[in-house]
Structure 1
């Protein structure tokens, strides 16, 4: 009898040692299975228990033989808390809403992050457990809004502009056109346009005046019926060169009056033309006295 009791105790000790306490439990001297994490026991059976998945807002983070799952924490929006991505296999704490951080390590409530003022930028972003940090904008830069991520550099004035308002940590530099350039530039432009217009006026007037004079002369002599040719012009020029240098201008004018064909006309292109009478001068004549030549003309 004594030996029988010893044998039973040895068997129970062996069974107990072979039962994994993490995934099994002892019941009625038997090693029974537990439900896996994220589930609870719906129907108990030592060898094959019936397990059921935890409801929303519940969890089980280990193997168990419990009929109820654990509750996730309640997140109060009035304390600036919200639910995170909840899991059925592990505890999911509440988290702070955007731009807030926990007031303590337990995160029972959250408070708003510091707001960086204009003229500052964020030097360190906030987290769930830490507030953000601010720092002043460096010289030559500015920020004109709250909680700026970076400071913007001042505008650089160009060579044709001057600084109207200097920049600050909260505002940009304002540039404008140089007032001297605003005065000098229009004056120079007007002067150049005036010179161009005046030159064009005298050019057109001079050309029109020359053509008008020749046309009036032609109308007076031939009534605009005679058209000069380039040969006539050459003849007149040669005739003028052959005249004595000491001959008065009145004699030349008298010669033109006696021979109207020597007066230049106007071509269709506006060029002076005259008829060629060189053949008439090449006709052989008997030698006469100078007085007879003057009588011939």
Structure 2
């Protein structure tokens, strides 16, 4: 068998393919079709490979000699949204909606950091929320996917600490106003 190169403009193996001409029996080195197109007819000893553009909702991402383009088969399902729409050169790309992350091919809701815990790292499309226990001097009194631990307030200007802060609540400050019938009145 003889290898014939007709209309070969590139020597990169990714942009060429071998084809046996059914009329002559010769093996030809044909030019591949560029991404976004597909093969309509193989090359011959006198004509180059004929290519045509992909139709709507179809694509080819690589140099190819496919008889038709591939169908854009990625469908964004529950808790997903389109990141990149189908184009002649790429399939549709889906990602998790805000508030969700990819786990085992499904989009799970980001974890909430509970009382006494704050967000160390907010969740992304690819990773869950990372929580941390509030350190001494900080608190979190809510369950949240976004809130970090907050610093305890400091009592000032003659205020007293009525309730010391913890990991779950802020410091409560107040003023001693008067002594009525042996009872101390505190105003927060």
The answer on 1:115 being equivalent to 2:93 is: no
Contact 2:110–2:145 (CA<8 Å) still a contact in 1?
Answer: no
Hey, what's the Cα distance between the residues in 2 that align with 1:113 and 1:173? Answer: 29
Query: 2:134 is matched with which residue?
Result: 137
The answer on 1:24 being equivalent to 2:16 is: yes
Query: 1:170 is matched with which residue?
Result: 168
| Superposition deviation, residue 102 in structure 1 | 2.5
SS across alignment from 2:131: strand
The answer on 1:160 being equivalent to 2:161 is: no
Matching of residues 148-227 of structure 1 within 5 Å = 148-179=146-177
Cα distance 1:148–1:49, how it changes in 2: closer, same or farther (>3 A)?
closer
Deviations 1:115-137 (A, max 9, x none): 11132112233344432221111
Cα distance 1:81–1:159, how it changes in 2: closer, same or farther (>3 A)?
closer
Query: 1:82 is matched with which residue?
Result: 81
Structure 2 gap segments, 5+ residues each: 180-188
| Superposition deviation, residue 27 in structure 1 | 4.7
Hey, what's the Cα distance between the residues in 2 that align with 1:129 and 1:27? Answer: 47
Matching of residues 272-287 of structure 1 within 5 Å = none
Query: 1:230 is matched with which residue?
Result: none
| Superposition deviation, residue 99 in structure 1 | 2.1
Q: Which structure has the larger Rg?
A: 1
Query: 1:221 is matched with which residue?
Result: none
Structure 1 gap segments, 5+ residues each: 1-8, 182-297
The answer on 1:61 being equivalent to 2:61 is: yes
Of Structure 1 and Structure 2, the greater helix share is in 1
Calculate the aligned-residue CA RMSD, in Å. Answer: 3.1
| Superposition deviation, residue 96 in structure 1 | 1.8
Query: 2:52 is matched with which residue?
Result: 51
Contact 1:124–1:134 (CA<8 Å) still a contact in 2?
Answer: yes
